Amino acid sequence: MLAVAIFAMIFPNQGMAGDVPVADADQLRAAVLAADPGDKIIIAPGRYQTKLRFTEQNSGTEIAPVVVTARDGPGTVVLDGTGTGADITVKFTTAAYVRLEGLDITGGGYHGVFFSSGAHHISINGNRIYDNYTVQPMNSHAELKGSGTADNRPHQSGSLTASPLHPTCECECNACGCL
């Protein structure tokens, strides 16, 4: 018993990880903001009008990443930034060791997923990222985008696997520069 108490004092956020089920947008935002290394945020099916932000305060570690996943698999959870004032639906700023799995990500004003200020070891796996273009003009929109100076770019930024990125251009391709 004493060993557990000493461990908890030395490593206050270790050993507290677990499954965190959520069923509405408020619960999802709260779970993300309070995420500890090793937490697995499990989202019930539905459409969640929200924007999510990850920083060093709600990041994982190499051996205990934070995972955000659809409870019932791909295509059952939509993260929708529409109506939230979100220029970006999911943003990683100085975040590390976070995995997004099986989510639809849409409704960002400029970007669906954005990495900046040294975010690293972020995995975007099995998601669909689409229709993130609600702010005009459409001259810098991207479904997935990273930005930063040479000093804050990570050496290993993460992975993107089985996550289709769907074009968001609604005009003639040669008129707005999309392919």
pLDDT tens digit string along 150-162? 544 444 445 555 5
Q: Which pLDDT does position 86 carry in this prediction?
A: 74
Question: What confidence tens digit (pLDDT) does each residue in 93-106 have?
Answer: 999 999 999 999 99
Q: Which pLDDT does position 6 carry in this prediction?
A: 43
| HSE-up of residue 174 (Cα within 13 Å, Cβ side) | 0
Name the strand (E) or helix (H) holding 176: helix 173-176
Q: Which pLDDT does position 166 carry in this prediction?
A: 52
CA dist 104 and 149 (Å) reads 29
User: Predicted confidence band at 109 (pLDDT cuts at 50, 70, 90)?
Assistant: confident
Query: Percent helix, strand and coil across the chain, each rounded to 5?
Result: 15, 35, 50
43 has which bridge partners? 22, 70
pLDDT, greater one: 71 or 6: 71
Domain extents in the chain: 15-169
